[in-house]
């Protein structure tokens, strides 16, 4: 499978969930307080891609910037190994099988996590429950959210 085919699959699924294609390998779903961001990162060593699901607090960042506020720890999800196999374009999986499985896994993931966090309060609760907080400025900002 070629990179362009992979992007086409992501476009097809993510646009159906009202995400908008941004530059590069990035899609956004803009909300009033929180913007959900999905992006693919290409490995420097192979034709493998990594899937990231992030949140931006709109009050802190420009949605078009590359600064992501929180990263959803997808690597801790049960289906992370599935993503790794599906996003490794060098393995021997047929294009048809990869497309079918990737659409299914991607749809399931988006249905599970998209829309869960729409407000700063919901993000604060999620961060607190999972022990996330990568940036001190975010931690400070969320500590003031009620």
Phi, then psi, of 53 in degrees rounded to 5? -125, 110
Contact 86, 79 (CB under 8 A): no
In 3D space, the residue among 42, 17, 26, 18 whose CA is nearest the CA of residue 106 turns out to be: 17
Structure confidence at residue 56 (pLDDT): 82
- The mean pLDDT values, 10 residues at a time, for the chain of 146 residues are 92 94 92 88 91 82 54 53 84 92 87 79 76 60 68
Count: domains in the chain: 1
| Residues present in the chain in total | 146
Q: Is residue 79 part of a domain?
A: yes
Cα(106)–Cα(112) distance, rounded to whole angstroms?
10
Q: Is residue 22 part of a domain?
A: yes
Structure confidence at residue 97 (pLDDT): 93
Q: Is residue 34 part of a domain?
A: yes
Q: Is residue 16 part of a domain?
A: yes
Q: Is residue 127 part of a domain?
A: no
Q: Which residues contact 86 (CB under 8 A, 6 or more apart)?
A: 93, 98, 101, 102, 105
Q: Is residue 9 part of a domain?
A: yes
The residue whose two tokens read 């919901």 is: 122
Q: Is residue 78 part of a domain?
A: yes
Cα(44)–Cα(67) distance, rounded to whole angstroms?
21
What 135-138 contacts at long range (C-beta under 8 Å, 24+ apart), as own/partner pairs, is 135/69, 137/60, 138/57, 138/60, 138/69, 138/70
Structure confidence at residue 83 (pLDDT): 74
What 99-106 contacts at long range (C-beta under 8 Å, 24+ apart), as own/partner pairs, is 99/1, 99/5, 99/9, 102/6, 102/9, 103/9, 103/12, 103/13, 105/79, 106/9, 106/10, 106/13, 106/14
Domain that holds residue 40: 3-114
Structure confidence at residue 75 (pLDDT): 43
Q: Is residue 98 part of a domain?
A: yes
């Amino acid at each position: 499978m070629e990179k362009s085919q992979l992007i086409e699959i992501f476009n097809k699924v993510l646009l159906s969930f009202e995400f908008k294609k941004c530059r590069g390998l990035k899609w956004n779903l803009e909300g009033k307080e929180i913007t959900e961001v999905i992006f693919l990162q290409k490995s420097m060593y192979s034709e493998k891609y990594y899937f990231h699901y992030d949140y931006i607090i709109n009050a802190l960042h420009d949605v078009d910037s590359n600064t992501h506020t929180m990263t959803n720890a997808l690597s801790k999800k049960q289906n992370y190994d599935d993503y790794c196999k599906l996003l490794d374009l060098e393995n021997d999986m047929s294009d048809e099988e990869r497309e079918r499985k990737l659409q299914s896994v991607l749809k399931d993931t988006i249905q599970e996590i998209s829309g869960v966090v729409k407000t700063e309060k919901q993000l604060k609760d999620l961060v607190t429950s999972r022990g996330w907080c990568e940036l001190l400025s975010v931690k400070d900002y969320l500590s003031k959210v009620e």
